Amino acid sequence: MTASHQTEPQGWVPDVLGAPFEARTLSLGDDFEGPVVATVVRALPKRRPFWMPPRPLEDVDVLYVHGWSDYFFQRELARYWTDRGARFFALDLRKYGRSLRAGQTPGYIDNLNDYDADIAAALAAMGGSARAAAPGRRLVLFGHSTGGLVLSLWAHRHPGVASAVLLNSPWLEFQPGGFTRSAFAPVLGLQARLRPLEAMPQVDLGFYTRAQREVRGDEPPLAINEAWRPEQAFPARMGWLHTVLDGHATVASGLHIDVPVLVMLSTHTAPPTRWSDELTRADTVLVVDIIAHRALSLGESVTVERIPGALHDVFLSRADARDIAYDRMDRWVSGCLGRPRAPLAPGSYR
């Protein structure tokens, strides 16, 4: 955890990831635990020599949002975008990662809509706003797990701002399914009102973190700040889980995201009740078949890509699964964002 509210850095400063990453602290006022901030991290594309042709995404800004008990550290994911000319930004939400301050309950929030302030502050730092992308730019929203839920709901409530939404194993539904969610939500709602900060039983045995280490093989290990991303996930609180289930119910009722959506998921789920090599080739957090079905509630243009051998974060999987994930994403990005196209006139092919 970092310095006090009075000594927060102003403007862009070198990030903990090193060059080319820079970070900017965004003040969000106070809540019941004191001063609250978000942090936006950026990586800019290298300047293109004047004799080289334009890169396909030079007018694109990407805003990435992490999942539960997580923060942004995926250098190679940023490089995919900057290699194609895009500006890459990642948001550590309030009380996560770079934004976690002493005395705060990690990751806690009791209304997902409160993240609108975090996103608006990040978009302002990118030169845009919650009403429009930066002038002359196209905005791509990219969310992982709970971040995918947050950005899906945001895109639904803010039509006309983003040009595309990419979701990496988004947490769109309660693991046991919608029927169990509906039955459980009223009981949880009462507990959330009475004891919002009470911790749920810890069910994470640390196997997901272990799987991410195992799949690296001969590659350099991931440099993880364990205070920001512990071996076992942060304790989930009653109030937090209640607002997540509210978000799931909203998705189940049907969203109207007005731009193309890509949802990337593993091909199967493995329960993390005991360690086995299967946990290195499956999503051990979500029931992916339920998520694949729920993804169809996001909007009218949804592509679901199932990645063989992928972990919950498909871009932290073993090398062969990552190669497939990047290839599938690149194919979709090239089709949706590679170059602006003129809409076909009605009746063109009648």
Contact indicator for 269, 282 with CB cutoff of 8 Å = yes
pLDDT of amino acid 112: 97
Classify each residue of 305-320 as buried b or exposed e, where b means 16 or more C-beta atoms within 10 Å of its C-beta. bbbebbbbbbbbbbee
Q: Please give the pLDDT value at position 241.
A: 94
- pTM value? 0.93
Query: CB under 8 Å to 134, separation ≥6 — which residues?
Result: 61, 126, 127, 128
Can the peptide bond before residue 272 be classed as cis, meaning omega within 30 degrees of 0?
Answer: no
**Nearest by Cα to 34 from 75, 9, 5, 10:** 5
Contacts of 11 (CB under 8 A, 6+ apart): 24
- The CATH superfamily of 12-337 is Alpha/Beta hydrolase fold, catalytic domain (3.40.50.1820)
Burial class (CB in 10 A: 0-12, 13-18, 19+), 202: exposed
Residue type, 336: C
307 contacts 321 by C-beta, under 8 angstroms: yes
pLDDT score recorded for residue 340: 63
Please report, for the chain, the start and end positions of each structural domain, with discontinuous segments joined by +. 12-337
CA dihedral 274, 280, 100, 158 (to 10 degrees): -120
pLDDT in tens, the chain (350 residues): 443 444 566 799 999 999 999 999 999 999 999 999 999 999 999 998 888 888 999 999 999 999 999 999 999 999 999 999 999 999 999 999 999 999 999 999 999 999 999 999 999 999 999 999 999 999 999 999 999 999 999 999 999 999 999 999 999 998 876 667 777 778 788 878 889 999 988 888 999 999 999 999 889 888 899 999 999 999 999 999 999 999 999 999 999 999 999 999 999 999 999 999 999 999 999 999 999 999 999 999 999 999 999 999 999 999 999 999 999 999 999 999 987 666 777 776 77
